[in-house]
Structures are given as structure tokens and as C-alpha cells.
Structure 1
Amino acid sequence: MKNFIFTFCLLLPIVAFGQFNLKIKIVDDAEKTGIPSVSYKLFSVETSKSVNAGFSSIDGDISVSNLSAGAYTLSFTSVGYDSLSLKIKIDQASLDLGTVSMKPSLRLMREVEVRANADRVTMKGDTTQFNADAYKVNPDATADDLIRKMPTLTVENGVVKAQGENVKRVLIDGKEFFGTDPSLALKNLPAEIIQKIEVFDRLSDQAQLSGFDDGNSEKTINIVTKSGKTNGEFGKLYAGMGTNDRYAAGGNVNNFKGERKISLIGISNNINQQNFGSEDLLGALGSGSSQRGGGGGRSGGGGRPQGGGNSTDPSNFMVSSQGGITKTSALGFNYIDKWSEKLQVSVSYFFNKMNNYSQDSSMRTTFTGVNSEQYYGENSFQSNTNYNHRINSRFTYEIDKNNSIIFSPNISLQGNTKATNLAGITSLDTSDTLNTIDSDQASKKNGYNLSGNLSFRHRFEKRGRSFSIGVGVNNLSNLGSGSLVSKNQTFLPTLRSSLVDQISADTTINTGYNVKVDYNEPISENSVLNFSYTGNFSFNKAEKQTLAYDKVTADYDILNTVLSNSFLNNYNTNAAGIGYRFSKDRKYFITANLNFQNAELDSKQTFPIENIINRSFFNVLPFVSFNYRPSRNKSLRLIYRSSSRAPSINQLQNVVNNTNPIQLSTGNPDLDQSVSNLITVRFNNTNTEKGSSFFTFFSSELVQNNISTSIFTASKDSIFRGILLAKGSQLSLPNNYGNTLSLRTLSTYGFPAKIIKSNINLSGGYTYTQTPTLINGIENLSRNNSLTSGIVLGSNISKNVDFTVSYTGSYNIVKNTVNQNLNNNYYSQLVSLKLNLLTPKGLLLNTEGVNTVFNSIGSDFDQVYTLVNLSLGQKFMKNQRAEIKVTAFDIFKQNKSISRVINASYIEDTRSLVLTRYFLATFTYNIRNFR
């Protein structure tokens, strides 16, 4: 009896809390060796629902814990093996099934190929899956080459897009891969290891834990690797030398062993091949790059022909930017592992150093009023050095079946030095010169960004009841110094010369904290209530000190109070919300949230004069998400979201930027918040039998009380905050004025053309934007209508014959209510061809050509040019792992960087220095060692 009581006491906690464990080893029936990455699913016989799923380890081991007693069905699937199913009963603390054999599949390869073609694209909930085997590429192709053939996936100016939206992350087998740099990840994974490409909207960590969509999802690509390709080493190494002292070297080495995945990459070249994201570009984008909501730039609707050019658009800095000549050295490391059954980890480190030299010549026509205009021409030379260290990490800890933690710390260190020489002239026409400028500027910036997010979730025993909390912190610090020597002349009404000789130092510190608490309470079998609290607290400090040169003391000791400033800005929001979620039959999913938000904006200027501004805002911010899945291959999703936007400290800071004394800018401490209302509709339809995919997308955004740009052009000598605005000079500052409206739609249709053994992707879209701008106190509405179309023809003949032909074209109509001289119709198109041929003996031919056309209707700004690269090479060594080739870049020497920017106040044409024809001989060795 004592033994019985003792045993009963030991088993009671296990029975009460369901702490049963299951172990099993999957082996090959013939070789009796463990099979890695076998997919298993555990179903409850009583409820017919899945209670656990996963993959076997590198040795074929499967371990499942925290199970309840009962009867189960255990199924196994793996590529190349027949499926297997077992019925088991768990009634003891630990059940070890020993080894279970799976037999190799005897299906013919032809049958496998037919099935691959039929299932080239499928849908799994809101996830679109593309079968990699249905899209043939050359043996050395990367994941980047592969996705370009898939419908709804594109790479534009180095930016990876899926379903019309920028891809924020790339996962490999569900794990983080190289942080938030999709292009870096895709360019360093070989296509041959990929089984599937999955595209979906990844919820934020907090939303994943709470189960309620908070509207902060990110477009994500998940790369599912093939069975047998997760154990071994692969990658490539290359080095090349060329004419004009051109060189390129680099490579990537990957070591995969089950859950552990280690990747090392590196590049060094002076041929404009770059790999970094916008967060690596401290100082490289100019002083205005950190502002949100400001007008100017390209926001008013304008055109830029493909082909390069310098711009403050971060996408132009991603990969193969053509503005100037760039020398890059970069090194990256990525580590993914499962340290235990409960703890998963991913860490990436990336270093990049960029040296860029550029020359730009531009001509701007500014419309200062109705039938009034002036001209500004500029030549500039710039040398820019930028470096960055970046660490991204993520730790996921499953405490038990009811509790889990996610921790994501990130670190970034940046530095930038820049020297610029600029010569500019403003005139009414070719003879009437208003003013000139000749300046030399140097700047140095250093900064760091520390951030971290910690999330915790607890599931209660009652199904659907849960509690989650997420906290985050972000600390950003930028320290800068600079010097400016500018010689300025004003010619009307009389000749007057002035000299600006100054040094400056600026500091920006941003500290933010956020917390979000969610509690879910089920109210029926199909519906759940959500109660939430969200707090965001931002504390910002900006200081700038400008000292002018004193001829008496021969030192910089004259404080310029107009160009100096000390500014504090705090923006805090507290929001309480209630939400409702309803789902039925896996067809209908409705989520509705209503958030009541109170925001406090406190700004304090302490120098040169004291100024205190306190504002309070109350907003009711709804969020609605409706998902409808009429079948497994169709999906409709509608989202409505309202959110508030606070002005940045750069927009609020009341200090004049006189980097260009005839093109001044300043902030506005009187800015209020703006409110955005966004509606998005998506529809997916796939046909697995035909292998076709259709996707359509629509979005509309209205921003009320928008932070727009106000531009003032001095018609005579004027004084602004103690600074002379010479006749013809311009001043821009942000203002809360008017509403912006944008409409966008995109549709794509992809299908296989069996007759020509190719994949065809068709696309078409329409975009409308309306942007208000104040020009000398007069409102100008700029309206841009843009029609786009495209076609991609990708070969599917064999791995030895690989080609892709694409066309994209757009027709734009720009209308302005006041400055009708800015009205412009223009057409642009880009036709590209990529061809790779490989003979059985290893002789290879690679060619890539791009034809660019830009035609401005009724204007003399037309551009037509063609870029062609050609490579000839030979593969050799065992399995043709090595190759040597000679490449001619820009054979016809037509590379140009001539761009046009059209916005609500001016038209600007810019010509930039670019890399032209050169030859490069390269040796490459491909590493392939799978076990």
C-alpha cells in the first residue's frame, strides 16, 4: 500500500499537468541511418486536432514533451520517402518508440516532375507558397535569381518586393537570417537548396503572442530548404581583376547541420557593388533624410528614368547604386541554432565600409508664382566615407506549453565623413543673374542605436484565454561636427559680396520606451474579446552650436545665435483598447479594435530664447481586419487602420540650416500631429492544376492635417530670423497644411506556357497622389496619375538554358492647380534581357542588357540608352565546381545618370558621374558538400 501511495503521489502531478514525453528515431529502411528534417504531426484521436508538429533532428530524432494522456495518430512525411502513420497511446510519463523505418519512394522521377509543375503555387491560409523545382534556373543561381521568375516577386533598385510591398525580412526554415536585410540574404543562398518560397505578412512579436493583429505586420519571405540540404557546407569564393584598376573579391560560406546554420559572407570591390540597408547610412542621405512627412523631393509626383543618379531615396543606396564611383568592403556573419528543446537563437553581425566619390550637375526651374519662374544651376563634387557595425539577435524560449518569452536585442554603430564643394547660380534667365554661391563643406558624424524588445505570453488552461506583455526600449545618439566656407554674391539691385566662415557641432539624442499589455477572454467557441493598453514614451534632445570666424582673434569664437539652438521634445501616448475576434470554419476571420488614445506633445526651447509649447491630443483610432477564404486556394483580406503621426524633432527644431546660403531650410516648433487613415484590400487566387497565380491589391491613404512643405522665394532682399535672404534665395519649412491623398492598385497574373517551356508573369497598376504645398503663401495642389504595366518571361527549359526577358512601362500625368507650368506628361520604360547558356562541357555564356527610354511629352528632356554586359567562361574541376570568365561591362559605353525630378514647386534635371565600360577577369569556386 505504501508503494502504491508513493507511486500515485509521483504520478499525480504528471497526470494533473499533462507532463508526458514521447521519443522516436526515424531511420532509412535500407541504410538504417537517421533521416533529418522529417516532418511529423501529432493528432488527438478524441478531438481530431493537431496538438504538435515539427521536424526531426539531424540524426532523425524526435522528442515531444508536455503531452496529455490519451490516444494519438502520429504521421511522418519526407521528400523521397513514402508517408508513414502510426497509432499510439500515451499512458506513462515517458514513451520511447525506438526506431521507426521509412521506405524510399519508388515513384518515377517523371511523376515527381509532373506533381512539381502542378503544385508550382499553392496557398496555405494567408501564406502563398511557390515550389522552387517548378522554376528552373542555372546551377549557380542564387535565391535572388529564383524569386525574380516567380509571380508577385520583384527586385527594384535593390529593393525586394512581394505583392507590391517592400519585403522587410527573410527567414530560412522559419528562423531569422541576416536581420532586416532581405537583399543580403537572397544574394547569398544558392537556389539549389530551396524547396519552397513562402510569402506572408509576419505579425509583430506582440501580435503573435496575443493572437490579435495590431496592424504592424511586415511582408516576409520564408525559404524552406530541401531535405538533405540542411547538412553540409556550401557557398562560393571569387576574385577578379580588371582594366582601369577595377577589382572584385568576396564570397559566402555556409555550414548547415540540422538546426544549426552558420553563414559567413564578405565582399571587397570598387565596381559599385554594395550590400547594406538604409539604417547603415548615417549622414549619407543628407540632413533632411530623417524627417518624416515633409514635402519636396519626389513626393509631389515626378519622374526619374531608370539608370541611376544620386537621390535621397534610400532605395538607391541598396545594391548596385550607380551614383558616383563606390568602393565597398563588407563582412557578415549569421548564426541560427536550437540550443535546447526550449531555446532557439539567431544572431547576425554585419560590417560595411563605403567610400564614394560623385560629381553632379543640375539645373532647376522654380515656379515662384503664377507665370513666374527662376532658374538655379549647380555643380557639386562630393567625397563620402561611411561605415557601420550592426548586430541583430533574437531569442525564443518556450518555458512550457503555456508560457513563452521572446527577446530581441539589436545594436548599431555608425560613422560618416563627407566633404563637398558646391558652385551654384540663380538667375531670372540666361542674362539676369540674381546670386551665386561657391562653398566648401566638411562634416563628420558618429552615432549608435541600441534597442531591445522583450515579450512574454501566458496561456491559461481555459482555451482562448491568454495574457501577454511586451516592453521595448530604443536609444539613438548622433554626434556631429562640421565646417562651412561659402562665398556669396548678390547682383540685384546692386553687387554685394558676403562670406560665411563657420564651424558647428550638433547632438541628437532620442530615447524611447514602449509597453503593450493584452488580455484575451473567450466569450464563445468562435469569438474572443481583447483588452489592451499601449504606452509609447519618447524623449528627444537636440542641440546645435554654430561659431563664426573672428578676424581679430583669428579663431572661431563668435556664437551665431540664429544658427544655434537647444531643443527638448517629449511625445507620450497612452491608449486603451478593446477588441473582438471572430472566426468560423476557417473561412471567416474578423478582428476589430477600438483604441482611445491620449497624446501629450511637450516642446521646450532653452536657447537662444526660451519657448515652451504644450499640446494635448485625443484620438479614437479604429482597426478592422476581415479575412475570407472561400476555398483553400482563394483568400480575400480587407484592412482599415487609423494612426497618429507626431512631428520629428528635426521638423520641430527652430534652427536655420545654411549649408547652402541661397537654399535655406528650418524647422517649425508649432507643428501638430497628423492622422492617417489607411484602407488596404488584397485578393489571392491560385490554380494548382494549371499552376497559375492571380493577385490584386488596392490601398488608399488619407493623411489629415498633413505636415507639408512651405516654400518662400525672396522677391527682394529680406531678413528672416536675423539672416539675410538675398533676392532669389529660397527658404523652406514644414507646416501643418491640407490633406494628402494616395490611391494605388496592382494586379499580377502568373502562369506556365508549356509550348515555349517558360513562365509568364503579367502585371498592371494605377497610382494617384495629391500633395499640397504652400508657395509664397499660395496653395498648390500637385496631382499625379500613373499607369504601369509589365511582363516577365522566364525560361523553364532546363538548367543549361536560362533566360529572363522583362518589360516595365509607366505613363504619368502631372497636374498642378497653380503652377501649371509644372504640368507634365511623360512615359518611361525599361526592357531587360538576362541570358545564361551552359554546355555539357562547361562552356558558359552570360549576357545582360537593359534598354531605358524616358520621353517627356512636350519637352526636350528625352533619354534612350542601352547597357549591355557580356561574359564568356569555362567551368572545370570535379563536378564543374570552378570557373574562370572574362566580363565586359557596358560594352557600348552608354551608361548614363541623367534624371528628372518633378514636384509641386520645381523641375530639376541632374547629370551624375557613373561607372562606364571596363573588363574584369574572375575566378570562382563553388563549394558543395552535402552529407
Structure 2
Amino acid sequence: MKQKKCLFSLILTLLVSIPMMVSADIVTGKAVDDKTGEPLAMASVRMECKMGGSIHVITTTTDSLGNFSNQCSSEGRLTVTVSLLGYHDTKKRGYCGSGSTADTIKLGEFRLQPSDVVLDEVMVSAKAKRFTIQGDTIVFNPAAFKLTEGARLKELIEKLPGVTKKDGKLYWNDKPLRLQMNGHDIFGGSGIVADLPAEAVQNIKSYNKASDFAKHSGKDDGKEDQVLDIKIKAGFMDKWYGDIKAKLQSPKNYQASISSSKLSDKNPIMFQFDANNVNRYQKVGTSWWESGDFDYFGKAQNAALGYQHNWKAIANEYHFVALSSNFNHKDGWGTDYEAAQYFSPNNVTTWSLNRTKHYNHEIAPEVRAELLSFVDRNNIAAAHLIFNYTLQRNNTETGSARFDTDTKPYGDFPLDLALSAGHGDAVYRHIINRERSYQQQINEGGGIKLEGIWKHFIAKKAQLEINAEMEYQNGNNRFDAHRELEYINKGTSSPLYQYSRAPYHNIEVSGKAALEYHINDALMLTAAEQFKASNNNIRQSFYSSPIASKIESDPESVLDVANSYRSKHLETNATSTLGITYKVGNWQFIPTVDYNFDWEQLNYQRGRLDTVAHRNSNTFMPGMAVKWKLNKNNRFDIAFNYTTKLPDLLATLGYRDDTDPFWIVEGNPLLHRSHQHTTSLNYAATATKQQAMFLFKVGYTHIINPIATVYNFDPQTGVYRSHSENVRSGNDWFAEVTYDRSFGDYIHFSNKAEAHFKKAYGYLADFNGHAAQEQNQLKMFTFVSNPELSYESDWLKAGIFGEINLQRNRYSLASQYNNTPIEYVYGLRATLKWKGWEINNEIQDKATTGYLSQTLNRHRIIWEGYIRYVWKKSKNWIELSFDDILNQNRYYELNVNSTNRTEKWNEFLHHYVCLTFNYHFDAKGNKK
């Protein structure tokens, strides 16, 4: 049956390629004067579509007859607000459904009541036309929009008719919005221009910018970008703009940063610098930005500098060359805690506790160069070059102990008690082994990456695009360890000193060729082929001895041949991808297929193992999606996909790694591939009158020959040996229900409930390899629900929320270890806005039960909030924030399978008061 499904998908895929025809719901209405019934032109229309925590915002204006029409392809609760200068706002609500087929949502008349108060500045703005139309381009006049004094450009952009804000990103009629400045992509990213003063803008043009192929062929390939082209007044160009931010955080934390850029059509420049010990890092390029936390606690210094030169090419296109550099220094530290339980037959099990303190140091400078050239009307070339160097030093201090009984009688996390226990102590007789270790890893290396892109247009019907990439890395990884090992059952203990060095060099070459061919105006053929070849070499020399001086004075005499190895891995991969989307009536059929060919050779020598392994694999991964929209309020979606996963080639060799004496890892020559297929059915219904939406999803996943870890345990030494092995097939039945409803204009309720019924298998740990291992069946039921009731108005947003996460685990061969861990949260949040002030407060109770570690089974009250004030024409803001006021927050995770149960948790940067000040500096335009 499985082969028939794959063949059916493949046959459908090979038929033909037809361009995707996806549309969206159309929302219509009309604005009229409530007293006279006359249509109101140029009224602002704001549409918000909300689903869970995601909000999709669209704006437009009414035409000369008071009508408006706009697309809404998101699913969720729809709130439409119509406003006009001199009138009170009017709202109506509805629901947007699927974007797979189009429906018209008719909201009828919006009757606006005249207002008695009309501000003078508003009357002046009302006299100016907001936009004019020039061919296919809409030109907006910034002076016609009501803005606060000193407003930023981003405030103006969000007020433009047709502009969408979804999850922090801008869209135009549901198309991702591409900001340009004076006809060019913005150097340093759109965020730089977004913080310009609105007064610097002369006008804003909105238009579809076709792809290179579409411009050349004159045929729409569906790949155009929606562009907002911002024309900056001449007096504001070739000047510097930016932000200065300072942060003070208890007890002794800080952050200071400056970001600055010089706006220019020909030679833009950017500069960024940040220094902090609040665990934040950032990397900045000419068109990208990357930032975030990097450890539990940390300090970092980051600097970036970029320059670009633009010059005229053909038509309205420009060549450019850009250079950028980043310097990053990070120091991170923290502590990880772990409690684990490993199952064995005959009611035998082991418990382990582990604590690892780490300190990581990293220096990572990087230099990039980019080039784009319009060679002629038929050819475009681009190139990217990256040089990087990284030095990492990681120091860890670990304490661990393994027990033959539950540790709860001896405390919440009695690791220190176990490490210091001696003969006569109650806990000592239950310890199997324990270890203290001090390790250092130093990884140093650098590399180069070169990428080239060539696009060639063939007559007016076809485009050939070829990408090629080469990457080379070279470096050395060094490891140094001091272990204090104690085998309590055997009554022995000994130190162990280890050292290794592993120089490496890797090279990878990849490429992709894609062809698009227009058969006619409605039919386009697409074909793509990807190729990758890699050569990875590593030589590890490993030394170990109970005497530290021998490693330093005579390393060759203590060479650990069993853990020294030479590895040369060659791999060639080719992937072909085909797919079609075919629409007939209210149906859509979307078959896809990936064909992957992989050739590998591993030349591996370690101890007595000296082999050359080969593997040739062919895999097909078909998929099928069917969409059926019964009417504007009801739809069905059906999806099927099939995937194949290959094990790592090294895992299929008979090697043995005992660099950690308590955890020995081995290969398995009998290991083979695993497969997975998933089928799902979705149903969505909306009720406009009841302002409600209902979503239902059911599905089934079948995992064939999954790969699991198998353990062998020595009760005398407490040593575990592990290897990977294919186990019996498992499955997952799942269901989801989402309900979303509004009660009037301000009150809203939503909830998503999800349940899984899973079945999986794994081997119980074997004792000394004497017992015949059986596969332990795990039946897992999980349930997650997160209801929320909220009130939302312009000045106040408040709500109560909750979440429950239940997991019920039942074992066939180890029923005594059945468990039901539960996590639940409930709380309230509120945000108040008044003039330049914004006040936020959130408090919640997070509770857990059913965990192995008693330190996790408790209630935690999490309370946080902030106060922010904006002034000086929106240039300056100051914020006082409070994080985890009661010092209760912790991070923890649970992993349960058929073999073991592991709980992990750690502390992180929390429980502080923070004062932040931000100043935005602008250039002043030249007086004309």
C-alpha cells in the first residue's frame, strides 16, 4: 500500500506544472454620514485579523463613493474600524477564513456620527490629498497624514492605506513589503530608515516591482515584490542618523550601545557598537541583523562597520559593491542540573544526579564582501565572499553520582551529600559510582566561503539560474580533562588525566540549477536540481594516564590507541524536486515529490577497527495536499507526506568510544534507515453573526523502524554502554480544537486544545549482556490547553489566561515507573496607555507536579512589569522594568521515552530592576 501511494504521488507530479492560483477573502463596506446618508470619501479603514497571539493589520481608504474593498488572507477574528476627520469612529466585526479560495465578506454601511470638535491641525491635513495615482504607482503625500510632533517614519508607514503589520513585519495587501530608499534597497536594513523623522520624507511611492525574469519576459511569474519607495528630501541625505542607548540593571549589570548610519544614494556607511553584561549579542550586515541571548549569564562586546558603493547600470538598475565587518567577543556562564532514571527488567533501575558548571569564552571576527552587477539585459551576476575566524574556550566542572535507589529520601537534589558521603553514611551504601571532573575544550579555526549567482534570460520565455558555493574550514580542537572516578561497589578509585588534539579540514562545494519556462500565458514549467559534494578530514590523537606528568613529559607512552582515530568522509548528494498546484472550482490538488541520491565513503581507523565503508542510497519523499472549500464559511484540507531518514554513516560501524569511562558509546553495523508518513484532516468553520470561529484537526503519524538508544549496564561499576538500534514501529494519533469568539467590541475569548496518543518502543537496559532484551512499550497521552479571556480598547488591554500541560506515561514492562507529570499556569496581565505613558503589569502562578526532583514540584509566582515614558518629539524614551520580582522563575524540561526519563533545569538572568534610556539623533534638513 505504501508503494502505491508513493507511485500515485509521483505520477501526479510528473503530469505538468501549473502556476499556483491562491486568492484571499475580500472585505467590503461603505462609509456614510449617519445624519445625511451621504457617502464619505477618503475615510480611513483599519482591519485587524487576530488569531491567538498573532495580529494581522491592514489599512485602506474609501473611494469617492465611500466604498472600500481589501484582501484578508489570514484566518481569525476580524475587527474593521472606519474613521474620518470630524466624525466618531465606527466598528464592525466579522471573520476571515482560508486564503485558498476567495469569498466576499460584505459588512454593509458604516454610519459615522459627526463630531463636535475638529482640531485645527486636523482640518489643515484634511484639505491635502493623501495620495495620487500615476499609472500603476500610488504616490502618498506625508503632509496629509495626522502625525504626532517629531513622529518617526515607521509611524507614517503604518498609517499608509494598504499597509499591513503582522508579527512585527510589514505587508501590503498580504504581500511582504520591501522598503527601498530613492529607488534602492536600504543599506543596513530597513530599520535604519524606519527611525528617520517623518519630516525628512518628500513622498512615498507604492508599486509592484517585478522579478528580473518578469521584467525581461513581460510575463507575470508571481514573484514580484511589493515596494514602498521612500524619497528622502535632498537636505536630509548624506547625513548621520542613529540611536544611543544606556541600561542599568541590578545588581551590577549594564548595557551601552550606539547604532549609526549615514544615508546616501552613492556611498552609505553604517556603524554599530554594543557592550553589556546582560547576556545579549548582535551581528549586523549590510542588509541583515542578528541578535539575542547566548547563554544563561554573559557579557559581550560587539562592533560592526559597513560601506557600500552604488553606481548606475542599465535602465533603472544599479551595480553595487559592499564591505562589512563584525567583531564579536562573548563570555557566557551558567549551571545545568539533571536528574535521570534508567529502566531495567525485573524491577531494577538506576537513578543519577548531575551538575555541570560551565564558562565559555569566544572571539569571532568576520569580514564580508558583496557584489551585484547587471552585466547586460540578458545576464545578472552576484557574488558573496566571507572570511571568518573563531576561538572558543570552554571550561566545565562536573559532579555526578549514580544510585541504586530513589534519591528523594535524602533531599530535593542531594548531589553534594552524595559526593561528600563516606562509609557509615546512609546514602553511601546506595551509591554505585561517582565522579568529579574538570575539563577544558579549545576550538580554534577559520574559513572562507564563496558564493556566485548567475541569471540568464533565454529569449522572452525562459530563465536559467545557476548558484555555486564553495566553503573551506580549517582548525584544531583540543581537549584536556582531570577526572576523579570512584567505583563504590568495587571499592576502587583512581584519577584519570586526558588530553587530545584533533586538527581538521573540511571542504564543501554545492550548486543549484533552476529553469522556468513559460509554455503559454497560463502554463509554466519549473525544474530544479541541487548538487553537493563534501570532503571532511579529522585526525584525533588521544592520550590518557592516571599520572598527569606522563602526558606532559612523555605523551607517546600514554597514547590511547582505542580513542585515537583518523577519519576521511566523502559525500556526494543530488536532489531533484518537482511539484504542481492545480485548481478546479473550489478544489485544489498539490502533489509534490523529492528524489534524493546520496553516495558516501568513510575511511575510518580507530584502534583495531580499520575500514572503508560505502553507502549508496536512493530515497523518494512524496507528498499530497487537497483543499476543498464548501462555501465561504466552511472548508476542508487533507495532507499526506512521506519522509526517509538515513542514520549517520559512522553509527553503522563497529567502533567504540570510551573517552568518558562511565558512558561508553558503540556503533552498530546492523543499523538502517527509518521512515515516517503523516496524514491529516483539517476543518474550519466561521460564524459571522456569532463572531465565532472553529478549527478542528485530526491526524495520524506512523514511524517505521525508528532509531532508539539501547543501554547495557554493569551493576558492579555502574558503567553504561550504549548504541543505536532500530526498534518496533510507533505511531501518534493527534487532534486539535481551536475556538475563538468575540462578545461585542471589546471582550474576546480564545482557546486551543491539543491531544496526542503516542505509542513507542525501546529496550530496557541489559545487565552484563546476559539477559535477552525485550522492547518496552510506552503509551503516552498528552493534553495541552491555553484559554484566554481579554478586554481590548485603545487605552487599556487586560486579560486573564491559563495553560495546562498534562503527560500520562504508561510502560508495559516497567509499570512501577508509570508517571503523570503536570504543568499548569494561570494569571492576569494588563497594559495601560495614557498620553506618553505606558504601564504594564503581569502576574502568574506556574506550578508543576509529578517530577522526579522535588525542587521542581512546587508553585512559583512570577510577577513582572514596566513603566515607559516617551517625550522630546518621540526622540527620547525612558523605561523602568521589573523582572521576576519575587525571584521564583526557573527553566526546566522533561524528556520521557521507553528507556529512561530525564529532567533538566537551570538558572538564568532574572529577578532584576532595569532602567533604560534611549536617545534618537537626527540630522536637520538644509533650509531652502
User: TM-score, normalised on structure 1?
Assistant: 0.63
TM-fit CA distance, 1:374: 1.3
TM-fit CA distance, 1:422: 1.5
Contact residue 126 and residue 635 of structure 1 kept, 8 A: no
Contact residue 691 and residue 751 of structure 1 kept, 8 A: yes
Equivalent position of 1:300 in the other structure: none
Tell me the secondary structure at the aligned position of residue 898 of structure 2: coil
Contact residue 800 and residue 829 of structure 2 kept, 8 A: yes
Contact residue 235 and residue 928 of structure 1 kept, 8 A: yes
Q: Does 1:711 pair with 2:718? A: no
User: Which string of whole-angstrom CA distances, capped at 9 and with x for unpartnered residues, describes residues 587-632 of structure 1?
Assistant: 7654545555443232221343421222333334434455667889
Distance (Å, rounded) in 1 between the aligned partners of 2:583 and 2:252: 65
Equivalent position of 1:383 in the other structure: 359
Structure-2 change in CA distance of 1:682 and 1:890 (3 Å): same
Q: Does 1:732 pair with 2:732? A: no
Equivalent position of 1:766 in the other structure: 755
Distance (Å, rounded) in 2 between the aligned partners of 1:335 and 1:745: 52
Equivalent position of 2:784 in the other structure: 788
* 1:484 counterpart letter in structure 2: A
Q: Does 1:480 pair with 2:452? A: no
Equivalent position of 1:503 in the other structure: 499
* 2:493 counterpart letter in structure 1: S
Contact residue 432 and residue 715 of structure 2 kept, 8 A: no
TM-fit CA distance, 1:484: 0.9
Q: Does 1:845 pair with 2:835? A: no
Aligned pairs for 1:593-604 (under 5 A) are 593-594=592-593, 596-604=595-603
Name stretches of at least 5 consecutive residues in structure 2 with no aligned partner: 1-57, 66-81, 104-144, 146-150, 199-210, 218-222, 285-289, 406-426, 767-772
2:342 to 366, 377, 393: 366
Q: Does 1:270 pair with 2:277? A: yes
Tell me the secondary structure at the aligned position of residue 329 of structure 2: strand
Equivalent position of 1:239 in the other structure: 246
Distance (Å, rounded) in 2 between the aligned partners of 1:748 and 1:260: 52
Equivalent position of 1:432 in the other structure: 430
TM-fit CA distance, 1:501: 0.7
TM-fit CA distance, 1:575: 5.2
Tell me the secondary structure at the aligned position of residue 612 of structure 2: strand
RMSD, aligned α-carbons? 5.6
Distance (Å, rounded) in 2 between the aligned partners of 1:261 and 1:805: 48
TM-fit CA distance, 1:108: 2.3
Structure-2 change in CA distance of 1:761 and 1:224 (3 Å): farther
User: Which string of whole-angstrom CA distances, capped at 9 and with x for unpartnered residues, describes residues 104-157 of structure 1?
Assistant: xx9824889769x879979877999xxxx9xxxxx99999xx9xxx999889xx
User: Which string of whole-angstrom CA distances, capped at 9 and with x for unpartnered residues, describes residues 301-346 of structure 1?
Assistant: xxxxxxxxxxxxxxxx98557x743223344678999866345879
Distance (Å, rounded) in 2 between the aligned partners of 1:334 and 1:697: 48
Q: How many residues align?
A: 726
Distance (Å, rounded) in 1 between the aligned partners of 2:614 and 2:212: 33
TM-fit CA distance, 1:434: 1.5
Tell me the secondary structure at the aligned position of residue 893 of structure 1: coil
User: Which string of whole-angstrom CA distances, capped at 9 and with x for unpartnered residues, describes residues 565-590 of structure 1?
Assistant: 1122223234567x463545797654
Structure-2 change in CA distance of 1:656 and 1:247 (3 Å): farther
Contact residue 583 and residue 589 of structure 2 kept, 8 A: no
Distance (Å, rounded) in 2 between the aligned partners of 1:712 and 1:602: 30
Equivalent position of 2:442 in the other structure: 444
Distance (Å, rounded) in 1 between the aligned partners of 2:655 and 2:917: 54
Contact residue 835 and residue 847 of structure 1 kept, 8 A: yes
Distance (Å, rounded) in 1 between the aligned partners of 2:487 and 2:253: 45
Distance (Å, rounded) in 2 between the aligned partners of 1:264 and 1:688: 51
Contact residue 852 and residue 903 of structure 2 kept, 8 A: no
Aligned pairs for 1:29-428 (under 5 A) are 108-109=84-85, 173=179, 236-250=243-257, 252=259, 266-273=273-280, 319=292, 324-331=296-303, 341-342=316-317, 352-389=328-365, 413-428=389-404
Tell me the secondary structure at the aligned position of residue 562 of structure 1: helix
Contact residue 746 and residue 764 of structure 1 kept, 8 A: yes
Distance (Å, rounded) in 1 between the aligned partners of 2:554 and 2:152: 61
Moved more, 391-400 or 664-673: 391-400
Equivalent position of 2:900 in the other structure: 906
Q: Does 1:606 pair with 2:605? A: yes
Structure-2 change in CA distance of 1:606 and 1:563 (3 Å): closer
TM-fit CA distance, 1:729: 1.3
Contact residue 623 and residue 640 of structure 1 kept, 8 A: yes
Q: Does 1:489 pair with 2:493? A: no
Distance (Å, rounded) in 2 between the aligned partners of 1:711 and 1:351: 44
Structure-2 change in CA distance of 1:755 and 1:596 (3 Å): closer
Tell me the secondary structure at the aligned position of residue 824 of structure 1: coil
Tell me the secondary structure at the aligned position of residue 561 of structure 2: coil
Contact residue 416 and residue 445 of structure 1 kept, 8 A: yes
Aligned pairs for 1:538-687 (under 5 A) are 538-549=534-545, 554-557=553-556, 558-574=558-574, 579=578, 581=580, 583-584=582-583, 590-594=589-593, 596-608=595-607, 609-624=609-624, 640-648=640-648, 651=651, 657-658=657-658, 660-668=660-668, 671-677=671-677
If asked which structure has higher relative contact order (CA below 8 Å, sep 6+), I would say: 1
Equivalent position of 1:32 in the other structure: none
Contact residue 205 and residue 406 of structure 1 kept, 8 A: no
TM-fit CA distance, 1:379: 3.1
Aligned pairs for 1:511-550 (under 5 A) are 511-519=507-515, 527=523, 533-549=529-545
Contact residue 270 and residue 326 of structure 1 kept, 8 A: yes
Tell me the secondary structure at the aligned position of residue 580 of structure 2: strand
TM-fit CA distance, 1:562: 1.2
* 1:619 counterpart letter in structure 2: T
User: Which string of whole-angstrom CA distances, capped at 9 and with x for unpartnered residues, describes residues 477-536 of structure 1?
Assistant: 5531010111112122x3122221111112454433334444556677755555554433
User: TM-score, normalised on structure 2?
Assistant: 0.64
User: Which string of whole-angstrom CA distances, capped at 9 and with x for unpartnered residues, describes residues 151-183 of structure 1?
Assistant: 99889xxxx9x9xxxxxx99854999999xxxx
Tell me the secondary structure at the aligned position of residue 610 of structure 1: strand
Structure-2 change in CA distance of 1:857 and 1:412 (3 Å): same
Equivalent position of 1:819 in the other structure: 814
1:925 to 907, 916, 919: 919
Tell me the secondary structure at the aligned position of residue 424 of structure 1: strand
TM-fit CA distance, 1:361: 4.0
Contact residue 209 and residue 457 of structure 1 kept, 8 A: no
User: Which string of whole-angstrom CA distances, capped at 9 and with x for unpartnered residues, describes residues 194-222 of structure 1?
Assistant: xxxxxxxxxx999x999xxxxxxxxx9x9
Distance (Å, rounded) in 1 between the aligned partners of 2:826 and 2:305: 36
TM-fit CA distance, 1:547: 1.4
Structure-2 change in CA distance of 1:536 and 1:883 (3 Å): closer
Tell me the secondary structure at the aligned position of residue 846 of structure 2: strand
Structure-2 change in CA distance of 1:536 and 1:209 (3 Å): farther
TM-fit CA distance, 1:236: 4.4
Equivalent position of 2:804 in the other structure: 809
Contact residue 151 and residue 750 of structure 1 kept, 8 A: no
Equivalent position of 1:41 in the other structure: none
Distance (Å, rounded) in 1 between the aligned partners of 2:807 and 2:216: 44
User: Which string of whole-angstrom CA distances, capped at 9 and with x for unpartnered residues, describes residues 379-400 of structure 1?
Assistant: 3322122344567888776767
Structure-2 change in CA distance of 1:525 and 1:209 (3 Å): closer
Distance (Å, rounded) in 2 between the aligned partners of 1:804 and 1:610: 65
Moved more, 250-259 or 467-476: 250-259
* 1:789 counterpart letter in structure 2: S
Q: Does 1:779 pair with 2:775? A: yes
Identical-residue share of aligned pairs (%): 14
Equivalent position of 2:862 in the other structure: 867
Contact residue 151 and residue 749 of structure 1 kept, 8 A: no
TM-fit CA distance, 1:668: 4.8
Distance (Å, rounded) in 1 between the aligned partners of 2:102 and 2:569: 42
Q: Does 1:854 pair with 2:853? A: no
Moved more, 331-340 or 784-793: 331-340
